[in-house]
Amino acid sequence: MKIYIMKIKIAHLAALLLASLATLPVAHAAEVTHLRCEYLTNPLGIDAPQPRLSWQIEDNDHKPTTRGLQQTAYQVLVASSQELLQNNKGDLWDSGRVESNNTSQIEYKGAQPLKSRQQCFWKVKTWLTGGASAASQPASWEMGLLQPADWKAKWVEGAGYLRKTLKLAAKPVARARLYVTALGLYQMNINGQRVGDVLFGPEWTDYNKRIRYQEYDVTAMLRKGDNVMAGLVGHGWYSGTIGNGHNRFWGKVPALFAQLEVTYADGTGECVVTDASWKTAASPILASDFMLGENYDARLEVKGWDAPGLDESAWTPVNVREEKPRPLESQVTEPVRKISEIKVVAIKEPKPGCWTFDLGQNMVGYVRLKVAAPAGTKLTIRHAEMLDPEGTVYTQNLRQAPSVDTYICKGTGVEIFQPHFTFHGFRYVEVTGLTEKPTPDTITGIVIASAITPAGEFSCSDARINQLYSNIVWGQRGNYLSVPTDCPQRDERLGWMGDAQVFVRTATYNADVAAFFTKWLVDVDDAQMADGAFTDVCPRVGAGAGTPAWADAGVICPWTIYQVYGDMRLLAQHYPAMVRWIEWCRGHSINLIRVDMSETGKKLRGRDYGDWLSIGADTPKDLIGTAYFAYSTKLVAQAAAALGKTDDAAKYQQLFQDIKAAFNQKYVAADGRIQGNTQCCYAMALKFGLLSDEMRDKAAQYLVEDITAKNDHLSTGFVGVSYLLPVLTQAGRTETAFKLFLQDSFPSWLFSVKHGATTIWERWDGWTPDKGFQNPGMNSFNHYSLGSCGEWMFSSMAGIDTDGPGFKKLIIRPTPGEGITWVKCSYDSINGRIVSNWQRDGGKLTMDVTVPANTTATVYVPAKDANGVTESGQPTGKTVGVKFLCMENHHAVYAVDSGSYRFQSAL
Ligand code: BGC
């Protein structure tokens, strides 16, 4: 097959000139990039016995402009040393030449099982269409500690600082690894330096079921002779205050568990672990808690606490604690890290001595304080999302999370403080106790989050929508902190399942959340009740189970991750739990209707939150329950089919049909009215495929009528809101979808934007000009759920979607709706960057589309008729990579190969 090149430049003229090249065959060099193992780059501490590898094929100028670029075959080499790999020796695994264009989910298949600590160096050679080939740079992964017997460490607790002096032999160290975890949170230092940049390790899990650990390469931190391993622990989720009034949920006192393994160049080694030989002394951290904040007295700092040479005579031995054995499993996701810094945009003094700093962005993390004040000066730092009318910080909505950090100065000149084991959700910071007028430098916002790689970019001709998109991304950033949480500021911050499922598809467009969900879905299964009910929050801390739309996250999230990343292993792993949930619903229904009570008075529906926070529209809760029962059953049937479980696929497809019939009989009237007659019930019925063709049209009509009757306003809460725009678009009601989306009066997405929001609010009316703040009992200004419209912005406005699992086949189908004149959008899929930019100029539409290597797309070009459509300035039959398929609903439809294209049409 021939390879052709087509460079598309923004300027139309350039495109025309280059179009003439399109028919010339050019062998084009490509690169193999983005080598990852289990979704992570060169990870340490992999526990999966057969890790999966992935890569991408990119044009050598990193713009996938080559048309029809495909990998025809690949060969993976995995070696136990860099030298062997360099010599093309895959002593661990040589896949041989595999004829395939797959570049992800490639399972390691070496003959010998991988052992604890095994270092694996790998590279991939690919053969490409047109006879070219490309080889990757080397990459690596390292296996963690796979056997319980690998662990020699003991759990230790102390009064604050923890340390151990160790002596290393006077010979070169070839490699040193620190394996560390905690019940609580830890920070490790070696020889006066912090190890790594992980915050809040070892991640939040149900600590009774499993504990994650991290592995660090500390070779460069060690020296001959005396070395010091030192640590601090904090309460975190384990023994601190967590959501909804829970305190010390898993334990009372945090403990550290660390193991340093040193291998000398001569092959001998040492293993130094936390045990009774460790010493402890009071630290300057007087108290630290996620909800309360941190109190720090810098006068208590011990210089050199983490370095050799300290007089340890006043230090006491740590307490060694017996803990029941639990699985220690490696970190499988990106850790929480510092993401960025935010500078102060305004400083005010609303009351004498009370300074407020505005960071201009509602964020999650903490502040770095820079002061110079006499010893003993106590500074109090309060955090808030909003100001009250007096200009002081508004903290009522934080409930029982005071979020106050205090710092006592040591008086040695300029001092810098940032807390160790707490985080806050805030835009405004109040500092009292300053002895001098502050400068913008006094406070800096430190943004933290699970360090997930961004994947999406979106902008359009309406600045309000761009702010909305920024708010959606900030909402995700602030709430994807070890687990997907509801909010980061008040005393809640839990892994609410309903929120997670309505937002998951949007999340996948914004960022590469594959590893994040790989970790959290294990927490979801860990939380599942013995009878099969998924819980309301994961990790489970109180709350209910079996709640419609919340518990269904246990099905919807794994299915979505499979759809987006093609992750069959994850689907297979969670499939049994998904099935148990469906069977639980079946057993908790009467005639397949998810009623509230059984005949014997048993509660059947968990904690029913309904269409949570909807506006004056009551959707019957049994209807929501039944609709979700049907939807999850349908997804389980599809999952079974994908996994080759044909019997299950047939069984659950039949069950879906039966629930659908029961739904129609019970809730859908002869004229198509659905009980409740709310936007939510029509949106759900349409999205979940619960209606006949005839009833579908009627439902769409009723939905449009309701929106119109409300002057183009929505009435849905968390549940209905995510489906509104997609079903309107699907039903061809684009005009209504755009009117609704561009609405900025209450209730609407743009209402909060109009009032200065920089994150998504929990409620449509968190603050209104007439009423001020909503009930402080539940009024977060950083809750991502209502931002679930992000999915539609990518999949419909820009029109980027997957066609089947894993973005192997794509759909590009932009919707140039009324009120928007251009959209620029890209999405970094697992196969590479997809671009869909469009611009409307009078009646003419220009679409710039990029389809990454190894994928193909169906491109829908809005057009009056196919004859008027050009590609790179030529009639569409003339350029390579594009094949006309048909006209469909005012779209010219094309089968398109990988590459970059410019379509133009008359609308
Ligand atoms: C949380 C939500 C959650 C809900 C359940 C709230 O307190 O903040 O986001 O989904 O409870 O209804």
By most ligand atoms within 8 Å of CB, the mutation choice from 612, 778, 784 for ligand 1 is 612
CA of 502 to the centre of ligand 1 (A): 12
The response to whether residue 816 sits with its C-beta less than 6 Å from ligand 1 reads no
Return the DSSP state at 83: H
* Of 46, 267, 271, the residue nearest 142 (C-alpha): 46
CA of 477 to the centre of ligand 1 (A): 18
Instruction: Report the percent of the chain where pLDDT is more than 70.
Output: 96
Mean pLDDT value across residues 433-448? 97
Per residue in 210-234, pLDDT (tens digit) is: 999 999 999 999 999 999 999 999 9
For ligand 1, say whether the CB of 717 is within 6 Å of any of its atoms: no
Q: For residue 813, which phi and psi values (nearest 5 degrees)?
A: -145, 75
Q: What is the pLDDT of residues 153-185, one digit of tens each?
A: 999 999 999 999 999 999 999 999 999 999 999
- Shortest-distance atom of ligand 1 to CA 244: 7
Question: Which atom of ligand 1 is the closest one to the Cα of 486?
Answer: 9
Query: How many other CB atoms sit within 10 Å of the CB of residue 711?
Result: 9
Separation CA 405–CA 565 (nearest Å)? 41
> What is the mean predicted confidence (pLDDT) over 5-26?
37
Confidence of residue 60 (pLDDT cuts 50, 70, 90): low
Tens of pLDDT, residue by residue over 273-325, are 999 999 999 999 999 999 999 999 999 999 999 999 999 999 999 999 999 99
Output the CA 597–ligand 1 centroid distance in Å. Answer: 23
Give per-residue pLDDT as tens, 233-262: 999 999 999 998 899 999 999 999 999 999
What amino acid occupies position 514?
A
What is the DSSP pairing of strand 480-481 with strand 483-484? Answer: antiparallel
Closest ligand 1 atom, CA of 718? 10
Look at ligand 1, atom 2, and give the residue with the nearest C-alpha.
Answer: 486
* Average confidence (pLDDT) over 329-338: 97
Q: How far is the CA of 536 from the centre of ligand 1 (A)?
A: 9
Would you place residue 61 in the very low, low, confident or very high pLDDT band (cuts 50, 70, 90)? Answer: low
Average pLDDT value over all residues in the chain: 95
Q: Evaluate: CB of 491 within 6 angstroms of ligand 1.
A: no
Find the 496 Cα to ligand 1 centroid distance in Å. 7
Q: Closest Cα to residue 571, out of 528, 517, 513?
A: 517
The answer, yes or no, to whether any atom of ligand 1 lies below 6 A from the CB of 492, is yes
**Residue in the structure block whose two tokens are 């996994």:** 643
Residue nearest to atom 9 of ligand 1 (CA): 486
Task: Give the nearest ligand 1 atom to 778 CA.
Answer: 7
- The rounded distance, in Å, linking the Cα atoms of 221 and 227 is 9
The encoded tokens of residue 183 equal 């019940």
**Which of 499, 501, 774 has most ligand 1 atoms within 8 Å of CB, for mutation?**
499
The residues, any chain, with a CB within 8 Å of residue 103's CB and separated by 6 or more, are 54, 55, 56, 57, 71, 74, 831, 854
Q: Which amino acid is at 317?
A: P
Does any ligand 1 atom lie closer than 6 A to the CB of residue 503?
Answer: no
Question: What value does the mean pLDDT take over residues 8-29?
Answer: 40
Q: Is the CB of 545 under 6 A from ligand 1?
A: no
Of 608, 631, 618, 635, nearest to 550 by C-alpha is: 608
pLDDT tens-place string over residues 822-866:
999 999 999 999 999 999 998 999 999 999 999 999 999 999 999
262-287: b or e for each residue (b if 16 or more CB lie within 10 Å)? bbbeeeeeeebbbbeebbbbebbbee
In angstroms, the CA 243 to CA 536 distance is: 13
- CA 102/CA 98 separation, integer angstroms: 10
Flag whether pLDDT at 28 surpasses 60: no
Q: Ligand 1: which of 244, 496, 607 to mutate, most ligand atoms within 8 Å of CB? A: 496
CA 222 → CA 171, 193, 264, 270, 306, distances in Å?
A: 12, 10, 11, 13, 13
**CA-nearest residue, atom 4 of ligand 1:** 496
**Cα 424 to Cα 447: distance, rounded to the nearest angstrom:** 10
Rounded to the nearest angstrom, the distance between the alpha carbon of 485 and the centre of ligand 1 is 10
Beta carbon of 486 within 6 Å of any ligand 1 atom: yes
Confidence (pLDDT) at 130: 85
499 lines ligand 1 (CB under 6 A): yes
Residues 6+ apart with CB under 8 A from 695: 664, 668, 672
To test ligand 1's pocket by mutation, which of 492, 722, 759, 779 has the most ligand atoms within 8 angstroms of CB? 492
Rounded Cα distance between 717 and 740, Å, is: 15
Measured in Å, residue 436 CA sits from the centre of ligand 1 at: 42
Determine if ligand 1 sits within 6 Å of the CB of residue 498.
yes
Q: In this predicted structure, what is the pLDDT of residue 29?
A: 74
Judge contact between 812 and 797, C-beta under 8 A. no
Residue 330, Ramachandran bin (φ over 0: left; ψ between -120 and 50: alpha; else beta): beta
Q: How far is CA 142 from the centre of its chain?
A: 24
Q: Would you say the C-alpha torsion 8, 9, 15, 21 has a positive or negative sign?
A: negative
Q: Which amino acid is at 604?
A: L
| Alpha-carbon span 702 to 705, nearest angstrom | 5
* pLDDT tens sequence across 363-397: 999 999 999 999 999 999 999 999 999 999 999 99
User: Does 496 sit in the ligand 1 pocket, CB within 6 Å?
Assistant: yes
Ligand 1 pocket test: which of 242, 244, 486 has the largest number of ligand atoms within 8 Å of its C-beta?
Answer: 486
Cis geometry, peptide bond prior to residue 202 (ω within 30 degrees of 0): yes
Q: Is 609 in the pocket of ligand 1 (CB under 6 A)?
A: yes
What pLDDT, on the 0 to 100 scale, is given for residue 18?
A: 40
Measured distance CA(685)–CA(503) in Å, rounded: 19
At residue 672's C-alpha, the angle toward residues 667 and 673, to 5°, is 60
* Angstrom distance (rounded) from CA 725 to CA 721: 8
Task: Tell me the C-alpha distance between 73 and 309, whole Å.
Answer: 58
pLDDT score of 51: 98
What does the pLDDT look like over 108-158, one tens digit per residue?
999 999 999 999 999 999 999 988 899 999 999 999 999 999 999 999 999
Q: Which residue's C-alpha comes closest to atom 8 of ligand 1? A: 486
List of long-range contacts for 636-645, beta carbons under 8 Å, 24+ apart? 636/555, 636/575, 636/578, 636/579, 636/582, 638/559, 639/558, 639/559, 639/562, 639/571, 639/575, 639/578, 640/575, 642/562, 642/568, 642/571, 642/805, 643/568, 643/571, 643/572, 643/575, 645/575
Is the pLDDT confidence value at 198 over 90? yes
Ligand 1 atom with the shortest distance to the CA of 499: 10
Return the best residue to mutate from 246, 501, 609, 781 for the ligand 1 pocket (most ligand atoms within 8 A of CB).
609
Instruction: Return the pLDDT at 689.
Output: 98
Q: Whose CA is nearest to atom 12 of ligand 1?
A: 609
The beta strands (E) that lie in 26-85 are given as 30-37, 44-46, 52-59, 66-67, 71-79
The atom number, within ligand 1, closest to the CA of 536 reads: 5
pLDDT of residue 1: 33
Spacing, Cα 734 to ligand 1 middle (Å): 31
Q: Is the CB of 612 under 6 A from ligand 1?
A: yes
496 and 547 Cβ atoms separated by less than 8 Å: no
pLDDT interval class at 672 (50, 70, 90)? very high
CA distance linking residue 189 with residue 210, whole number of Å: 25
Instruction: Return the ligand 1 atom nearest residue 612 CA.
Output: 12
Q: Is 492 tagged catalytic?
A: yes
611 CA → ligand 1 middle, Å: 11
Helices marked H in 668-731 — which ranges?
679-687, 693-709, 718-730
Pick the closest to residue 305 from 287, 283, 327, 326 (CA basis): 283
Query: What mean pLDDT do residues 15-41 have?
Result: 67
Q: Which atom of ligand 1 is nearest to the CA of 780?
A: 8
Strands (E), 440-481: 443-450, 456-460, 480-481
Of 31, 157, 385, 762, which is the active-site residue?
762
Question: Which tens digit of pLDDT belongs to each residue from 4-13?
Answer: 333 333 333 3
The C-alpha atoms of residue 617 and residue 604 are separated, in whole angstroms, by 23
Residues in the chain: 907
All residues at 6 or more sequence positions from 411 whose CB lies less than 8 Å from its CB, including other chains: 299, 373, 374, 375, 376, 377
Identity of the amino acid at 267: G
Q: What span, in angstroms and rounded, lies between the C-alpha atoms of 375 and 415? A: 11
In this prediction, residue 63 has a pLDDT band, given cuts at 50, 70 and 90, of low
Which ligand 1 atom is the nearest neighbour of the CA of 609?
12
Catalytic residue among 492, 694, 705, 818: 492
Helix (H) / strand (E) element for 634: namely: helix 621-642
pLDDT band at 598 (very low <50, low <70, confident <90, very high): confident
Instruction: Tell me the CA–centroid distance for residue 422 and ligand 1, in Å.
Output: 22
Ligand 1 pocket, 611 CB below 6 A?
A: no
DSSP assigned state of 334: P
